[in-house]
Amino acid sequence: MKVFPASFDGQSIRRVFDEATETWWFSVIDVVQVLTQQPDDLTARKYWNQLKRRLDKEGSQLVTSCHQLKMPAADGKQRLTDVATAETLLRLVQSIPSPKAEPIKLWLAKVGYERMQEMADPALSLNRARQTWQQHGRSDKWIAQRMTGQETRNKLTDYWREHDIKAGHEFAILTNIIHTEWSGVSVKDHKAVKGLSSHNLRDHMTEAELIFTALAELSTRQIAETMNASGLPENTTSAKAGGGIAKQARKQLESQTGKSVVSGQNYLAPEAGMAPRVTKK
């Protein structure tokens, strides 16, 4: 997952978009700091901790709806912080008396609207992504493959959405099945190989990894369409079959080159005095 900082009244609010579950996650501390107008994140964190205790005593489910993800802190390091969806935050705002409550509700609704615009016109998100990848030094060839893969992914999730697959948890289940079938490792384990935490795995794939991921997802969709697969059990069958096709192609390539397609290479910024991390499997 990639962090996309946003701004509300000149104050940064960290957020990440999880492609696997198609969900925006926002930093709770950042939103609390805006609402309470605290001078820094330390005092905002204290306020949030006190609010969590009060909500727990009241039996509220808001706190359990929050999760933790790593986000860049003020010192530049990746640190775990509480995050929540826009829906959870809209409910949380009601627990904090603040003149900023209504404006931030409108802001959160706007974020959701922008996402709907991108779903209706994927070119908007692709253009934004292209600019980001260029700024991070990706080659035109890599960007073209990444965008082709994303288009393939979007067509697959569109099919799932129209055939009784729930966005979020079930999307993640099927994505992991496809990935495990073609690569031999789960999404979580593949990220571990690359030394990633809350990052978007696809943004750190090699050209070969992107190609095999796209092949697996293209095959999955076409098999599902042929089967007219609907619901999780039937789409699980097509996911395994589609991933299996890419697995056969991967093994053939590896037998010819003697090199593993699954790579430890990533695009993380190197630490001072260190080269970019590349691990051979």
Domain encompassing residue 112: 2-117
Give mean pLDDT, residues 231-258. 97
According to the model, what pLDDT value does residue 221 have?
97
In this structure, the answer to whether residues 60 and 103 fall within a common structural domain is: yes
- Cβ-in-10-Å burial (0-12, 13-18, 19+) of 253 comes to middle
In this structure, the answer to whether residues 113 and 163 fall within a common structural domain is: no
According to the model, what pLDDT value does residue 7 have?
74
In this structure, the answer to whether residues 161 and 112 fall within a common structural domain is: no
Domain count, the chain: 2
Span 210-225, pLDDT tens digits: 999 999 999 999 999 9
In this structure, the answer to whether residues 111 and 184 fall within a common structural domain is: no
264 in a domain, yes or no? no
124 in a domain, yes or no? no
According to the model, what pLDDT value does residue 69 have?
87
In this structure, the answer to whether residues 111 and 144 fall within a common structural domain is: no
According to the model, what pLDDT value does residue 27 have?
92
51 in a domain, yes or no? yes
135 in a domain, yes or no? no
Q: 117, 148, 170 — which closes off a domain?
A: 117
pLDDT, averaged across the chain: 85
In this structure, the answer to whether residues 185 and 228 fall within a common structural domain is: yes
In this structure, the answer to whether residues 75 and 24 fall within a common structural domain is: yes
Predicted confidence (pLDDT) at residue 271 exceeds the cutoff of 60: no
273 in a domain, yes or no? no
Predicted confidence (pLDDT) at residue 115 exceeds the cutoff of 80: no
Predicted confidence (pLDDT) at residue 275 exceeds the cutoff of 50: no
According to the model, what pLDDT value does residue 222 have?
98
Span 185-210, pLDDT tens digits: 999 999 999 998 767 899 899 999 99
Predicted confidence (pLDDT) at residue 119 exceeds the cutoff of 60: no
Share of the chain above pLDDT 70, in %: 86
Q: What are the helix (H) ranges across 136-194?
A: 140-162, 169-183, 187-194
More confident residue, 135 or 114: 135
In this structure, the answer to whether residues 183 and 237 fall within a common structural domain is: yes
Burial 98-130 (b: 16+ CB within 10 A, else e): eebbeebeebbeebeeebeebeeebeebbeebb
In this structure, the answer to whether residues 157 and 72 fall within a common structural domain is: no
280 in a domain, yes or no? no
79-83, 119-123, 252-256: which has the highest mean pLDDT?
252-256
Which of 101-105, 153-157, 179-183 is least confident? 101-105
**Cα–Cα–Cα angle for 9, 12, 14, rounded to 5 degrees:** 135
Q: 64, 85, 117 — which closes off a domain?
A: 117
263 in a domain, yes or no? no
In this structure, the answer to whether residues 51 and 97 fall within a common structural domain is: yes
101 in a domain, yes or no? yes
More confident residue, 209 or 121: 209
pLDDT-based confidence at residue 182 (cuts at 50, 70, 90): very high
pLDDT-based confidence at residue 4 (cuts at 50, 70, 90): low
Cα 137 to Cα 132, 211, 264: the distances in Å are 9, 20, 19
According to the model, what pLDDT value does residue 270 have?
63
Sequence-distant (6+) residues with CB within 8 A of 142 are 133, 207, 210
In this structure, the answer to whether residues 147 and 243 fall within a common structural domain is: yes
Share of the chain above pLDDT 90, in %: 47
Span 45-76, pLDDT tens digits: 999 999 999 998 888 888 888 888 888 877 77
Q: 70, 86, 117 — which closes off a domain?
A: 117
According to the model, what pLDDT value does residue 273 have?
36
pLDDT-based confidence at residue 86 (cuts at 50, 70, 90): confident
In this structure, the answer to whether residues 178 and 112 fall within a common structural domain is: no
